[in-house]
Amino acid sequence: MLLAYYEYKYGKTFKPVKRRSEKAAVPESAICPRCGAPHQYIYKNNGSKGQYQCKVCGELFNKTNIYNRPLALRCPYCGHILVAKKDRKHFRVHKCVNSKCSYYRSNLANLPKDLNAADKHKYKLNYIYMVANYAMTAAAVIKPFTDTFDYKPSKILSADETYIKVKGVKHYVWLVMDACKKSILGYQVSNTRAVGPCILAMRMAFAKFKEFPNKALKFIADGYSAYPIASQQFKLKNNWDFDVTQVIGLTNDDAVSTEFRWVKQVVERLNRTFKSSYRVTDGYGSENSALYGVSLWVAYYNFLRPHPYNYWKPLNELDILSEAGNMPAKWQLLIYLGQEAILKMQESKVQ
């Protein structure tokens, strides 16, 4: 409550409203729906027309205030409430039907000039609610399971970075994978190509080892300087002694490239696979959405995507997913596994 906070911070009580007449009196049932201030702190904002204003937080409200209304999805372009148009098996499609919506009018203006009016329905002109908010929540739940799963990694890892766009600005995705079993063990999204996010991606991958292999580990990367610099940090802080082998160029002009070219090609194929699914998004709207988008893609790649390497089965087969009949059901089960992982993490902290 803001009144209690005010008294705690300033050591004095917040003064109530001074009524100049009986007409300015507010009924005792008038309570601010935002901060809970009682009627002594409520103004009649527009006389007898029924609108009130809270002196504490400034909230405007009336008897049928917005806090009592059911939740509604709104168009981000015009603010109108979205209308439920279609019911699918696992979700509902909402659409903005406001003919003055800027999104609709912009798309309408971009239609071909010679388009037949009967063919206008073939174009998606109205704003349709996507599952971005749901995806962000699902990613936050699934991520703990993806990041703590026991992948039983081999001792050959490969790393690379690729770029994406966030609000039109170049960002980077760092990927560290098991070159033999093909699972993604570490990943990071950053707005810089400095050594910091490289260390974070490597640290996430190394956490998958129950016992760090040290010199037995073969870590393959390109010629970028961030990888050997990051390895020095692990040597100093964790006393992990391993070498970074850098495969440089596109041809096998030396013994190192000849021996480890196949490892570098594995992670380059991974980058192409990621880019093929990322390209249709036309970039991300925020750094958070980029991180959640990549984490969902990693979960899909590691647990749901059929791989020719594994006879068109997922890289990491889960018994609980074998009974799911379709992809939405598999995602729901991954959410369930993520919730279980979060509960185990919370219980371990309590103990």
What share of the chain has pLDDT > 70, as a percent?
93
Give the pLDDT band of residue 168 (cuts 50, 70, 90): confident
Q: Is residue 73 part of a domain?
A: no
Buried b (16+ CB within 10 A) or exposed e, 264-291: bebbeebeeebeeebeeeebbeeeebbb
Number of other residues whose CB lies within 10 A of the CB of residue 54: 23
Same domain, 207 and 98: no
Same domain, 336 and 196: yes
Same domain, 36 and 153: no
Same domain, 186 and 265: yes
Could you give the number of structural domains in the chain? 3
Q: Is residue 78 part of a domain?
A: no
Task: Render pLDDT for 251-293 as a digit per residue (tens, 0 to 9).
Answer: 788 888 889 999 999 999 999 999 888 876 667 878 888 888 8
Helix (H) or strand (E) holding 340: helix 327-350
CATH of the domain at 257: 3.30.420.10
Domain range enclosing 30: 2-68
Q: Is residue 77 part of a domain?
A: no
Same domain, 237 and 179: yes
Task: Render pLDDT for 195-210 as a digit per residue (tens, 0 to 9).
Answer: 999 999 999 999 999 9
Same domain, 215 and 97: no
Same domain, 262 and 115: no
Upper half-sphere CA count for residue 71 (Cβ side, 13 Å): 0
pLDDT for residue 203: 95
Residue type, 272: R
Same domain, 304 and 273: yes
Q: In what order do the strands lie in the sheet with 243-246?
A: 184-190, 169-178, 156-166, 218-221, 243-246
Q: Does residue 155 sit in helix, strand or coil?
A: coil
Residue 174 bridge partners (DSSP): 161, 188
Query: Which residues of 52-96 form beta strands (DSSP E)?
Result: 52-54, 60-61, 83-87, 92-95
Same domain, 96 and 18: no
State mean pLDDT over 132-156.
88
Residue 169 bridge partners (DSSP): 166
Interatomic CA distance for residues 199 and 273, integer angstroms: 23
- Least confident piece of the model among 75-79, 95-99, 226-230, 240-244: 75-79
Q: Is residue 75 part of a domain?
A: no
Q: Is residue 41 part of a domain?
A: yes
Residue 43 bridge partners (DSSP): 53
Q: Is residue 175 part of a domain?
A: yes
Q: Is residue 51 part of a domain?
A: yes
Q: Is the pLDDT of residue 140 over 60?
A: yes
State mean pLDDT over 305-310.
88
Same domain, 141 and 217: yes
Task: Render pLDDT for 66-89 as a digit per residue (tens, 0 to 9).
Answer: 555 666 788 888 888 888 888 766
State both tokens at 260.
């480890």
Q: Is residue 187 part of a domain?
A: yes
pLDDT, the chain, mean: 87
Same domain, 62 and 87: no
Same domain, 118 and 176: no
pLDDT for residue 5: 72
